[in-house]
Amino acid sequence: MPAKVEKDRARGWIVPVGGAEDKEGGKAILRRFVEVSGGADAHIVVIPTASRLPDTGQRYVDLFTGLGAGAATSLPYETRAEAAREDWLATLQTATGIFLTGGNQLRISTILGGTPVAKSIRTLNAEGVAVGGTSAGAAILSEHMIAFGRGGASPRAGMVSLAPGFGLTNRVVIDQHFRQRDRLGRLLTALAYNPFAVGIGLDEDTAAFVGPDDVLHVVGAGAITVVDASSLEHSSMGSARSGAVICLTGIKLHILDRGATFNLHTREATPSPGTLD
């Protein structure tokens, strides 16, 4: 469950990124993450656990410092025993921003799930620290995480498997590489299990910057598909055989581009100012 936000505090930004974010051009997403983490006063801790590539953590450290962060550090957790390292936990406590890289989200959950690291990330976010992640690092941020599943446009019984995430928020279920890997069906299937949450489908090089007020802001070159199942009228999930198409009625869907917003409290979408002319 999300950590409690005290009355005199504001939760930090939650920033899931759809993967393959621009690292060579304007770097709009990474640049904005530095800003919400404190800019020149930021200390961004990179957690590259999802990746098996040895240079992933250092690459993001270099990117963030090159974009003006005051400091950046990589904590390359590879075992559950390392999640109890007091020196690394102390470094984590100094973060103003925490960023989880891409790779395999089950590596993050199996190595860090239920450890002092996961607890610290939830608590720090509730105290105002920005927490973001790309691809696998995006999927792990919510309470209900899409662990794996098949592509396809239609929801089908058994199409997706869910696992516990870090639980920074229970308001959304996140899927990444969304349009590129044809993942609408598996996001709809996940929501058929849990219609309370809002489905967030992130295209590559696209991020949802969710502020302390639970308003989602779209940043990046692609689109975010928002699936709102709060008015779900009918679902055949309870009776469908494995592999069968799920019948869902009453679902609302939004396609949001850069500059558009979505309020997770009111479930209201606002177009980008540039599309209102």
Element housing 108 (H / E)? helix 105-112
Encoded tokens for 183? 């993942």
Choice among 74, 109, 120, 135 that is catalytic: 135
Tell me phi and psi for residue 69, to 5 degrees: -65, 140
- Residue 204 annotated as catalytic: yes
- The type of residue at 214 is D
The SS3 call for residue 172 is strand
The vertex-49 CA angle with 44 and 211, nearest 5°, equals 45
Cα separation, 124 vs 58, in Å, equals: 23
96: Cβ–Cβ under 8 A, 6 or more apart, which residues? 37, 38, 41, 42, 43, 44, 129, 130
Tell me which of 43, 144, 177, 217 is the catalytic residue. 177
d(CA 60, CA 99): 9
Compute the residue count for the chain.
277
Q: Identify whether 43 is a catalytic site residue.
A: no
Burial of 277 (0-12, 13-18, 19+ CB in 10 A): exposed
- Single out the catalytic residue among 21, 35, 143, 204: 204
Structure letter (DSSP) for residue 241: P
Active-site amino acid positions: 135, 177, 204
